């Protein structure tokens, strides 16, 4: 996905951009409303992340102009003020959603996904591996042509596996991505979700393997001549 | 030392007006009585005098020496004497200083009358009191004039009875005047004090958070109080507004670096596989989240206090508002596989309220429900109208019930949760500031609504946020 990040704090902007890049997204960063307008003129984006207080104006004014120009790119407002009236204002001006700084990237992802799904999710990229086809926005998985519904956590877990098929993902890494840091997590929580995901993958030639002491990986059994 | 009861303006005014009318009524009573007495005495005297004159004129002197007198009583004299009523009549006729007929011991006046102009006086005679008219004329007796003195006395028992009747009537008049004055003074006190009552009611009707200036028309005498009160209100509003701005600025300056801190920690967490370092980074992120959350709640609280004071009510369609808020909470709920199950009526349920307050309250309730719910559970959100309690008293309410399958209230009283910074005993390691439900309760109170927490059957908590529907 391609993001336009409008944020004047350089450090914050850099860390958000890097964090999104790690998840495989392309990010253009703009520090002012003028830069943002230039970016929008030059490229098209899947989503705009917009700060409210910018050196050359109010993000809400930008938002209003953006909406008047009938640009359908969804906008998520990032606000540090968090005053209730600011949030209400942002939505009234036409933001698709808002998120309060500092935010959990899992929450940002969840909100992006919800916004894109509401918007019809036109430019979404279907991902496929072996006999699996995954639509991250519709949250559907097709196993050998047969559609399966995934719950949110199963989907996020599966997204991690399908982003790097064959690579071993550690339990800790999966835990950090799947659970919020403020949530108490039991040791076997990941095993529970991996178990569920395995059930959803039943009938596929892929498998989620346990690599003892290291973690899990998604493999295509066909290549190794084995059966499920 | 005994504490004096506060004086009541109304009571003082009524008492003073009543005292004044009592004095006036007494004066009217006396005036009526005295003038009536005088009028009746004058009337009776006139009749008595006329009778005496008539009697004197009816005397004819005899021709012979020796002083014989003839009384030629005309019917007029008779009828006049008869008109004197049930009174006893005494008379004395002196001719030339000698009593010729009547009661010789009937006392003479202190001063002899001039001719036929009667002289009246009151004397005790025998065992009674008499009103006497004395007239004098000269009578030709045996060809020469001799002085004739006629005294006509009359008891006044009848007049006393009449006077008593008059006194009663005068008392009645006084009483009527007094009653009329009493009614008038009550009415006057009421109408004089009505503006004070109106003002007191306007002040009393306001909620403790209502910081709008008083706009009621006050009489000139009360306007200094209203001005002073509005001055205080304006200062309080200013202070609250400054607090809100300050907290908003502070939150901004705290949250931006916190965001950088959190992002960097998360990036570091992805880059390192050293377990002790990872544990430390997780604790750091947790602390950042908690700090950010507290800053947000403090700001929300200040906002709610300020908005509650403004009382900027507008018409709000509750149904779409609740639907939008539920939609906005879905992504967070979905992160933990929690399903939100809204059940909203078809009609929009219009109420009068402050959208910002309702948003703050419901978002806190939804956040709480999601926060304390176990993964893979469902939260019911029901919007419904509620008939007035007791079948009539009070207004109908629009009620939003948010029921989760979380850890419940742990037997604590629901009110305990709305105390600032007080959290349940069973929150475990779920982070929170202890301000969320305070915000909800304050928002409800500001709009004349109600907020309740109750244990949900089968486990969990049911939060009820109700707002009055316009009558």
In CATH, what number is assigned to the domain containing residue A179?
A: 1.10.10.10
Domain boundary among A118, A147, A170: A118
Shortest Cα–Cα distance, B195 to chain A (Å): 39
Q: Give the pLDDT score at B444.
A: 93
Q: Do B335 and A106 touch (CB under 8 A)?
A: yes
Q: Do B269 and A80 touch (CB under 8 A)?
A: no
Name the residue range of residue A198's domain.
127-224
Residues A83 and A159 in one domain: no
The answer to whether B298 contacts chain A (CB < 8 Å) is no
Residues A204 and A144 in one domain: yes
Angle, alpha carbons A180-A185-A188 (nearest 5°): 130
Find out whether B51 and B81 touch, Cβ atoms under 8 Å: yes
Shortest Cα–Cα distance, A63 to chain B (Å): 19
Residues A135 and A59 in one domain: no
DSSP code, position B188: H
Domain boundary among A74, A94, A118: A118
pLDDT grade for B160, boundaries at 50, 70 and 90? confident
Rounded Cα distance, B169 and B150, in Å: 37
Of chain A, the percentage scoring pLDDT greater than 90 comes to 24
pLDDT of B400 > 90? The answer is yes
pLDDT of B68 > 70? The answer is no
Tens-digit pLDDT profile for residues B181-216: 888 888 888 888 888 888 888 888 776 667 788 877
Tell me which residue in A11, A110, A180 faces B334 most closely, judged by beta carbons.
Answer: A110
Task: Collect all residues of chain B within an 8 Å Cβ-Cβ radius of residue A16.
Answer: 263
Domain count, chain A: 2
pLDDT grade for A228, boundaries at 50, 70 and 90? very low
For residue A179, what are the contacts with CB-CB under 8 A and spacing of at least 6?
Answer: A185, A189
Interface test with B, best of A5, A104, A182 (most B CBs within 10 A): A182
Q: What is the mean pLDDT of residues B162-166?
A: 79
Rounded Cα distance, B295 and B287, in Å: 12
Tell me which residue in A15, A87, A91 faces B263 most closely, judged by beta carbons.
Answer: A15
Rounded Cα distance, A48 and B73, in Å: 135
Residues A11 and A102 in one domain: yes
Selecting from 1.10.3860.10, 3.30.565.10, 3.40.50.10860, 2.60.40.10, what CATH number does the domain B314-471 have?
A: 3.30.565.10
Q: Give the pLDDT score at B381.
A: 96
The answer to whether B356 contacts chain A (CB < 8 Å) is yes
Rounded Cα distance, B131 and B84, in Å: 12
Residue B120, classed as helix, strand or coil, is: strand
Helix ranges, B336-381 (H):
355-372
Which residues 101-160 of A are in CB contact (within 8 Å) with B?
101-107, 110-111, 113-114, 151-153, 156
Domain boundary among A118, A140, A165: A118
Task: Collect all residues of chain A within an 8 Å Cβ-Cβ radius of residue B270.
Answer: 22, 173, 176
The answer to whether B391 contacts chain A (CB < 8 Å) is no
pLDDT of A111 > 50? The answer is yes
Q: Give the pLDDT score at A5.
A: 95
Rounded Cα distance, A68 and A60, in Å: 12
Task: Collect all residues of chain A within an 8 Å Cβ-Cβ radius of residue B265.
Answer: none
pLDDT grade for A121, boundaries at 50, 70 and 90? low
Residue A195 CB neighbours (<10 A): 11
Structure-model confidence comparison of residues A146 and B67, the more confident one: A146
In CATH, what number is assigned to the domain containing residue A96?
A: 3.40.50.2300
For residue A84, what are the contacts with CB-CB under 8 A and spacing of at least 6?
Answer: B300, B303, B304, B356, B359, B360, B363
Residues A32 and A138 in one domain: no
Residues A43 and A95 in one domain: yes
Q: What is the mean pLDDT of residues A20-24?
A: 84
Shortest Cα–Cα distance, A144 to chain B (Å): 26
Tens-digit pLDDT profile for residues B252-279: 788 888 899 999 998 998 888 888 998 8
Residues A25 and A113 in one domain: yes
Which residues 304-343 of B are in CB contact (within 8 Å) with A?
304, 307, 324, 328, 330-332, 334-337
Residues A166 and A210 in one domain: yes
Interface pTM, i.e. ipTM: 0.81
Closest Cα in chain B to A76: B328
Residue B175 CB neighbours (<10 A): 12
Tell me which residue in B244, B267, B300 faces A19 most closely, judged by beta carbons.
Answer: B267
Tens-digit pLDDT profile for residues A125-142: 678 888 888 887 777 888
């Amino acid at each position: 996905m391609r993001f336009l990040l409008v944020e004047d704090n350089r450090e914050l902007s850099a860390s958000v951009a890097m964090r999104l890049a790690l998840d495989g997204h392309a990010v253009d960063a703009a520090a002012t409303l003028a830069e943002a307008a230039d970016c929008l003129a030059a490229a098209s984006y899947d989503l705009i992340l917009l700060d409210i207080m910018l050196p050359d104006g109010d993000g809400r004014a930008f938002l209003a102009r953006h909406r008047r120009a009938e640009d359908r790119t969804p906008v998520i407002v990032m606000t540090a003020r968090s005053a209730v009236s600011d949030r209400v204002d942002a939505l009234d001006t036409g933001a698709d959603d808002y998120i309060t700084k500092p935010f959990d990237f899992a929450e940002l992802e969840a909100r992006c996904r919800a916004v894109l799904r509401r918007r019809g999710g036109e430019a979404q990229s279907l991902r496929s591996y072996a006999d699996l086809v995954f639509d991250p926005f519709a949250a559907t998985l097709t196993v050998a042509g047969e559609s399966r519904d995934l719950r949110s956590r199963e989907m996020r877990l599966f997204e991690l596996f399908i982003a790097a098929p064959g690579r071993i993902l550690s339990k800790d890494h999966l835990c950090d991505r799947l659970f919020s840091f403020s949530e108490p997590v039991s040791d076997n929580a990941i095993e529970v979700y991996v178990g569920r995901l395995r059930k959803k993958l039943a009938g596929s030639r892929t498998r989620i393997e346990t690599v003892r002491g290291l973690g899990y990986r998604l493999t295509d059994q066909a290549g190794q001549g084995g059966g499920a | 030392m005994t504490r004096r009861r506060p004086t009541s303006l109304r009571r003082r005014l009524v008492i003073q007006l009543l005292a004044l009318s009592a004095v006036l009524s007494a004066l009217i009573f006396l005036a009526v009585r005295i003038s009536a007495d005088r009028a009746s005495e004058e009337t009776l005297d006139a009749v008595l005098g006329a009778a005496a004159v008539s009697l004197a004129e009816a005397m004819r002197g005899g021709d012979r020496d020796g002083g014989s007198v003839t009384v030629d009583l005309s019917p007029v004299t008779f009828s006049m004497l008869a008109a004197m009523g049930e009174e006893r009549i005494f008379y004395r006729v002196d001719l030339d200083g000698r009593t010729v007929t009547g009661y010789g011991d009937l006392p003479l006046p202190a001063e002899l009358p001039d001719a036929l102009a009667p002289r009246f006086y009151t004397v005790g005679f025998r065992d009674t009191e008499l009103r006497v008219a004395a007239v004098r004329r000269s009578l030709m007796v045996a060809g020469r004039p001799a002085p004739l003195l006629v005294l006509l006395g009359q008891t006044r028992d009848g007049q006393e009875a009449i006077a008593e009747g008059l006194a009663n009537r005068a008392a009645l008049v006084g009483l009527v005047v007094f009653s009329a004055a009493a009614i008038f003074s009550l009415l006057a006190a009421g109408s004089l004090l009505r503006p004070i009552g109106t003002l007191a009611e306007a002040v009393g009707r306001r909620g403790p958070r209502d910081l709008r200036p008083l706009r009621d028309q006050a009489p000139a005498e009360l306007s200094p109080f209203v001005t002073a009160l509005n001055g205080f209100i304006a200062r309080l509003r200013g202070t609250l507004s400054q607090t809100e701005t300050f907290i908003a600025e502070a939150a901004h300056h705290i949250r931006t670096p916190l965001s950088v801190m959190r992002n960097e920690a998360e990036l570091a967490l992805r880059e390192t596989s050293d377990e002790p370092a990872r544990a430390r980074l997780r604790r750091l992120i947790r602390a950042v989240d908690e700090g950010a959350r507290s800053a947000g709640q403090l700001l929300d609280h200040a906002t709610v206090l300020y908005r509650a004071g403004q009382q900027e009510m507008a018409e709000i369609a509750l149904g779409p508002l609740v639907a939008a808020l539920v939609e906005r909470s879905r992504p967070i709920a979905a992160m933990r596989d929690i399903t939100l199950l809204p059940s909203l009526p078809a009609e929009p349920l219009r109420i009068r309220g402050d959208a910002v307050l309702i948003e703050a309250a419901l978002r806190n309730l939804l956040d709480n429900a999601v926060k304390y719910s176990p993964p893979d559970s469902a939260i019911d959100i029901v919007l419904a109208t509620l008939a007035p309690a007791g079948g009539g008293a009070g207004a109908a309410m629009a009620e939003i019930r948010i029921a989760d399958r979380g850890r419940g209230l742990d037997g604590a009283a629901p009110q305990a949760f709305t105390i600032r910074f007080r959290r349940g005993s069973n929150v475990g390691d779920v982070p929170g500031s202890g301000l969320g439900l305070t915000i909800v309760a304050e928002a409800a109170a500001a709009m004349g609504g109600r907020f309740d927490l109750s244990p949900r059957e089968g486990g969990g908590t049911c939060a009820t946020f109700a707002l009055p529907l316009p009558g």
